[in-house]
Chains A and B, each alone.
Chain A
Amino acid sequence: MALPKYTQPHYRIWHYFYLFVCGCVFFFLIAPLFVIFPLSFNAEEFLVFTDGMKRLDPDAFSTRWYKDMVYGTKNPWGLAAKNSFIIAIFATIGSIILGTLAALGLSSRHMPYKGLIMATLISPMIVPLIISGVAIFFFMAKVGLAATHLGIILAHIILGTPFVVITVTATLSGFDHSITRAASSLGSNPFNTFMKITLPLILPGVISGGLFAFVTSFDEVVVVLFLAGLDNTTIPIQMWTGLREQLSPTILAVATCLIVLSVLILVTAELLRRRSERLRGINR
Chain B
Amino acid sequence: MSSETQKILSTDGIPLEESLKKAEKKNKIKAFLLVTPLLLFLIITYIVPIADMFSRSIDDKMVTNMLPKTFKAMEQWDGKELPSEEVFEAFYLDYKILVKNKTAGKLQTQLNYEKNGFKSVLKKLARKQKKFEEGNYKEQIMKVHKRWRNVEYWRAIKRRAPAYTYSKYLKGVDMYSNEDGKIVQVAEDRRIHRILWSRTLEVAFFVTLFCFLMAYPIAHLLATLPMKYSNLLMICVLLPFWTSLLVRTASWMILLQQQGIVNDFFVWIGLVTDDNRPEMMYNKTGTYVAMTQILLPFMVLPLYSVMKTISPSLMRAGKSLGATPAVAFFKVYFPLTIPGIGAGCLLVFILAIGYYITPALVGGASGTLISNQIAYHMKSTLDWSFASAMGLMLLTGVLVIYWIYNKLVGVDNIKLG
Contacts and interface: CB of A to CB of B under 8 A. Distances in A.
Interface of A: 1, 11, 18-19, 21-22, 25-26, 28-30, 32-33, 35-36, 39, 47-49, 98-99, 101-102, 104-106, 108, 110-112, 115, 117-124, 126-139, 154-155, 157-158, 161, 163, 165-167, 169-170, 212, 215, 218-219, 221-222, 225-226, 236, 239-240, 243-244, 247, 251-252, 255, 258-259, 262-263, 265-266, 269-270, 273, 284
A121 B412 CA distance: 12
Contacts of A18: 217, 221
A196 B104 CA distance: 68
A154 B225 CA distance: 43
Given A120-B42, A128-B371, A266-B239, A110 B28 contact: yes
B46 A136 contact: yes
Contacts of A108: 27, 30-31, 34
Contacts of B244: 218-219, 236, 239, 255, 258, 262
Contact of B237 (A29, A110, A128, A226): A29
B107 interface: no
Nearest to B360: A244
A98 B395 contact: no
Contacts of B239: 30, 33, 262-263, 266
Contacts of A131: 50, 53, 354, 374, 391-392, 394-395
B255 A28 contact: no
11 contacts: A1-B221, A32-B248, A108-B27, A121-B38, A121-B42, A127-B398, A128-B356, A240-B361, A244-B361, A258-B243, A259-B243
B186 interface: no
Interface stretch (B4-12, B119-127, B257-265): B257-265
Interface string B233-252: 10111111011111111111
B249 A243 contact: yes
B105 interface: no
Nearest to B36: A105
Contact of B250 (A135, A212, A255): A255
Interface in B363-405: 371, 374-375, 378-379, 384, 387-388, 391-392, 394-395, 398-399, 402
Contact of B391 (A130, A169, A218, A259): A130
A265 to B, nearest CB: 5
A130 B356 contact: yes
Residue among B45, B259, B353, B387 with max Cβ neighbours from chain A (10 Å): B45
Given A126-B350, A128-B398, A131-B50, A111 B38 contact: no
Contacts of A39: 254
Contacts of A138: 49, 52-53, 56, 384
B100 to A, nearest CB: 29
Given A30-B240, A36-B247, A132-B46, A266 B254 contact: no
Given A29-B236, A243-B253, A124 B395 contact: no
Chain A interface, >50% SS class: helix
A106 B240 CA distance: 31
Given A110-B27, A128-B353, A135 B375 contact: no
Contacts of A136: 45-46, 49
A98 B24 contact: no
B251 A36 contact: yes
A25 B218 contact: yes
A105 B50 contact: no
A134 B374 contact: yes
A29 B217 CA distance: 13
A135 B238 contact: no
Contact of A255 (B42, B233, B251, B356): B251
